[in-house]
Amino acid sequence: MQKNNERRLMKPGSILSVLIILLISVFPAMASGQSGKPQLTKKEIILLLKQSAEHRFEQGDIAAEISERGVAFTVDEKTLDEFRQAGARSFVIEAIKRAGSQPATQPGEKASEASNPPDPERPRLRTAESTPPPAVELTPEAREEALAKLPLLEQARYHAMEFSEDLPDFRVTQIVKRYARGPSSKDWELQDTLEIALSYNAKEGEKFQLLKLNGAPTKQSYEQLGGSTSTGDFGSVLAALFSPQTQAAFKEVRSETFNGRKTVVFDFSVKKVNSRSEITDKSSGRSVIAGYSGSVWIDTETKRSLRVELSHENIQPGFPISLAENAVEYDLVTIAGEKYLLPLRAEVLLGRDSERIYSRNVIEFKNYRKFDSDVKLVPDN
């Protein structure tokens, strides 16, 4: 019965490529009417942030609620700093900015999909100077010594750029929980759960095989799936961000303990002219390039990036997709006796703000292995 309901709710989706390749479907049952809920106050948002402090992904819910209801206060840099101090991630900050730039709408009116103009009061980010990595002819000991002399951000850049060069062939299991939310939905509604086998090798890239749908074996192929899917290399997100061609501007904002580790958080911004992040709506055949901004958490001990959040900005007015955000969490994984920084969890948010239709995928990566070799997480210490 659940499958029948899903068929009734879903239309063929649209393929998106947002650093990773994504697919969003339209849920007709959610497309009628606009929310009549009152706009959120500053106090209400701070309360929601406090309630979500112990949960990893619930801030995506807060961002969707803000996008749906709007805000009942003036959004300026001082206000944004208050939310940052309350623990707001980039998802929430960007949602507040969008809501604050939109004129108040009456129930039944559609919010504008026009791109938000830059905030003239927003501090300008300094561009991190790219320091060349140690020369390849250095011995391992000399290389480590040279790396240790670089600033934290440049050490993280080096490790991100070496990701694809040293990555072995591996297999991993993905568990994907797919949710949807619309103007008539109070909460996120679980659509289905997927179990996917992902294999990677340097010559052919990634391959996906759908193993189970809602816990039951299935003969359906991954490509035949409806709804919102994510089919790209989450590992390449960091490489793209730290690439010199991207010219990302970084700003150190705070120190924070993340998953029991001491980290430094940097906000970043990538201009559209330097972005390689393409969003494609397959149903219309349209594609746009968008800039993006977000935050990255860098481990002060390992100098690796543990989490990255990004939100696409100023998506072309009238484009079918107006919300495209994702977050990825990483950790060191041992494959065949060697350590590699690989994704452990991810979240993808997509939507159409004017229709208040959103999709959310929560993804876990389990059992990394090189063919039949064992794999284990490196202990925190």
**Residue 160 predicted with pLDDT over 80:** yes
Phi and psi based region of residue 260 (left: phi greater than 0; alpha: psi -120 to 50; beta: remaining): left
The answer to whether 330 touches 344, Cβ cutoff 8 Å, is yes
* Cα-based torsion angle of the residue sequence 139, 145, 149, 155 in order, rounded to the nearest 10 degrees: 70
Q: Tell me the domain boundaries of the chain.
A: 123-222+234-377
pLDDT in tens, 22-50: 333 323 333 333 456 789 999 888 888 87
* Residue 149 binned pLDDT confidence (cut-offs 50, 70, 90): confident
pLDDT in tens, 44-82: 888 888 777 655 446 777 877 888 888 999 999 888 888
197 burial (CB, 10 Å; 0-12 / 13-18 / 19+) is: middle
Task: Measure the CA–CA gap between 267 and 254, rounded to whole angstroms.
Answer: 9
pTM confidence score: 0.65
**Residue 255 predicted with pLDDT over 90:** yes
**Residue 293 predicted with pLDDT over 90:** yes
pLDDT (0 to 100) of residue 148: 86
* Residue 266 binned pLDDT confidence (cut-offs 50, 70, 90): very high
Tally of CB atoms within 10 A around 128? 19
CATH of 123-222+234-377, one of 2.40.160, 3.40.50, 1.10.3210, 2.50.20: 2.50.20
pLDDT in tens, 133-147: 554 466 777 778 888
* Residue 303 binned pLDDT confidence (cut-offs 50, 70, 90): very high
Q: What would you report as the CA-atom Rg of the chain, rounded to the nearest whole angstrom?
A: 21
202-228 burial, b if ≥16 CB within 10 A, otherwise e? eeeeeebebeebeeeeeeeebeebbbb
Which segment of 247-251, 292-296, 305-309, 353-357 scores lowest on mean pLDDT? 353-357
265-286 burial, b if ≥16 CB within 10 A, otherwise e? bbbbbbebeebebebbbeeeee
Q: Tell me which residue has tokens 């990825």.
A: 328
Pair type for strands 189-201 and 261-270: unpaired
| Mean pLDDT, range 269-295, rounded to an integer | 85
Listed in sequence order, the DSSP H helices in the chain are: 2-9, 42-51, 59-69, 77-85, 90-101, 140-148, 152-161, 163-166, 236-242
Q: Which two tokens stand for residue 149?
A: 């002399």
